[in-house]
């Protein structure tokens, strides 16, 4: 039995679909708090077909974790507060889930004899890098709340490896794109705004660089780390698909046949890292090979949102609207365009 924490979110739900399609694991349990970012719509068909079980619970609450984790062989932890912009509005849930939650989960896993665990972390823990790539041996220098909390969570996992012999390893993946990503995040925000003929808010000059990985490439890396990763091992997961935010926006507008006049350059967010890049040699030495190049990853992601309007219309809820106004309304007004559809 495997527990996928945060399995109703973006990467976690893709991992659940990946497990069902690519492995023979008999019992899959999703433990998820169902925050704004989690939705049962993301795992609707396996839930309806009885292929997975769902428990609503919080990884930072001991009782929730204890009751779910008993009799479990493996844990993959995706549960996190994951949006940098939200961390600027309120850091508390980031500390609660990403640090305390990771610690409680790791302790419970060790106490309940869990055999294997992967803790899904991020390349953002290293901080930004203008040239070259981060190796796992380098020090962590997170520059904002989300990656700082993720770095804290990593320490809790490594402490459980040392103190209790937990067989856990850590992956540090680059920026993911693909199906079921909450529309607050960059690619789905740009695609759905473009489909609605709304302006696309681009932070600063749009020259920030990200390595964009299709979520299924991330899922296959996590599975290999679960099967073959060393206890206490750190694994960068990058794909050499670097591009600027502006390149991604231009690509989206071109694919959707929408005008470049929808682009708006808005005031940047504070602590916005300019570039991330990781050296994934160790992950590749475990036998991992990504499948999607940059354009394939972008195109298949964009096309999914075009085909699944029902999904993103549901996700662009009233809460989404409130968040969108709080973050973008003033910035868009300063850039000469309010938040309403063009």
Active-site positions? 123-124, 146
End-to-end CA distance of the chain: 50
Which member of 59, 166, 224, 252 binds ligand NAD (CB under 6 A)? 59
Residue 215 or 249 having the CB closest to ligand NAD: 215
Contact window for ligand NAD (CB under 6 A) among 27-35, 134-142, 277-285, 326-334: 27-35
φ, ψ for residue 243, nearest 5 deg = -160, 160
For ligand NAD, which residue of 84, 133, 145, 175 counts as binding (CB under 6 A)? 175
Residue 292 binds to ligand NAD (criterion: CB under 6 A): no
Stretch that binds ligand NAD, among 3-11, 19-27, 133-141, 239-247 (CB under 6 A): 3-11
Q: Closest Cα to residue 48, out of 67, 75, 20? A: 20
Residue 245 is a binding residue for ligand NAD (CB under 6 A): no
CB of 337 to ligand NAD, least distance (A): 27
Size of the site for ligand NAD (CB under 6 A): 30
Residues 66-95 interacting with ligand NAD (rule: CB under 6 A): 78-82
Give the pairing type, strands 213-214 and 176-177: parallel
236 belongs to the binding site for ligand NAD (CB under 6 A): no
Applying CB under 6 A, the span of 16-24, 29-37, 132-140, 301-309 interacting with ligand NAD comes to 29-37
State the Cα–Cα distance between residues 223 and 118, nearest whole angstrom.
9
Write down the least CB distance from residue 69 to ligand NAD, Å.
Answer: 12
Q: Distance between CA 276 and CA 139 in Å, rounded?
A: 14
C-alpha R_g of the chain? 19
Q: Which helix (H) or strand (E) holds 193?
A: helix 186-195
Sign of the alpha-carbon torsion through 228, 101, 81, 133: negative
The SS3 assignment for 74 reads strand
Closer to ligand NAD by CB, 245 or 332: give it. Answer: 245
Residue 101 interacts with ligand NAD (CB under 6 A): yes or no: yes
Q: Is 178 left (phi over 0), alpha (psi -120 to 50) or beta?
A: left
- Residue closest to ligand NAD, measured at CB: 9
148-175 core/surface letters (b: 16 or more CB in 10 A; e: else): bbbbbbbebbbebbeeeebbbbbbbbbb
CA-to-CA distance for 71 and 203, rounded, in angstroms?
46
C-alpha separations of 319 from 37, 95, 123, 188, 315 in Å: 11, 22, 28, 16, 9
Q: Does 241 bind ligand NAD (CB under 6 A)?
A: no
Q: Using the rule CB under 6 A, is 8 a contact of ligand NAD?
A: yes
Does 294 participate in binding ligand NAD (rule CB under 6 A)? no
Residues numbered 130-149 forming contacts with ligand NAD, rule: CB under 6 A: none
Quick check: 212 binds ligand NAD (CB under 6 A)? no
In the set 34, 88, 195, 196, which binds ligand NAD (CB under 6 A)? 34
Q: Which is nearer to ligand NAD, 9 or 290 (CB)?
A: 9
Q: Which residues bind ligand NAD (CB under 6 A)?
A: 5-6, 8-12, 32-35, 37-38, 58-60, 78-82, 97, 101, 120, 122, 150, 173, 175-176, 182
């Amino acid at each position: 039995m495997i527990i996928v924490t945060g399995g109703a979110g973006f990467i976690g739900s893709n991992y659940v679909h990946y497990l069902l399609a690519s492995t023979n694991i008999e019992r899959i349990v999703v433990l998820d708090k169902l925050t704004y970012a989690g939705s049962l719509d993301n795992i609707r068909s396996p839930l309806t077909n009885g292929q997975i079980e769902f428990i609503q619970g919080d990884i930072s609450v001991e009782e929730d974790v204890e009751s779910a984790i008993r009799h479990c062989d493996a844990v993959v932890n995706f549960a996190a507060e994951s949006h940098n912009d939200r961390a600027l509005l309120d850091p508390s849930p980031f500390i609660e889930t990403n640090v305390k939650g990771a610690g409680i989960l790791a302790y419970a896993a060790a106490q309940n004899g869990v055999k294997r665990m992967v803790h899904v972390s991020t390349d953002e823990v290293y901080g930004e890098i203008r040239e070259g790539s981060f190796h796992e041996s380098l020090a962590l220098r997170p520059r904002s709340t989300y990656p700082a909390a993720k770095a804290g969570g990593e320490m809790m996992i490594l402490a459980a490896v040392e103190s209790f012999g937990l067989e856990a390893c850590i992956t540090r993946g680059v920026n993911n794109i693909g199906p079921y990503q909450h529309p607050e995040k960059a690619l789905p925000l740009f695609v759905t705004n473009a489909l609605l003929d709304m302006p696309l808010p681009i932070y600063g000059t749009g020259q920030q660089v990200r390595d964009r990985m299709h979520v299924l490439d991330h899922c296959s890396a996590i599975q290999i780390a679960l099967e073959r990763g060393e206890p206490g091992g750190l694994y960068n997961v990058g794909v050499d698909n670097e591009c600027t935010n502006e390149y991604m926006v231009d690509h989206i507008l071109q694919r959707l046949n929408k005008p470049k006049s929808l682009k708006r350059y808005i005031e940047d967010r504070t602590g916005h890292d300019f570039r991330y890049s990781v050296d994934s040699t160790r992950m590749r030495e475990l036998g991992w090979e990504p499948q999607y190049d940059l354009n394939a990853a972008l195109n298949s992601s964009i096309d999914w949102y075009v085909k699944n309007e029902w999904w993103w219309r549901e996700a662009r809820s009233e809460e989404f609207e409130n968040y969108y106004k709080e973050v973008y309304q003033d910035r868009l007004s300063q850039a000469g365009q309010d938040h309403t559809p063009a």
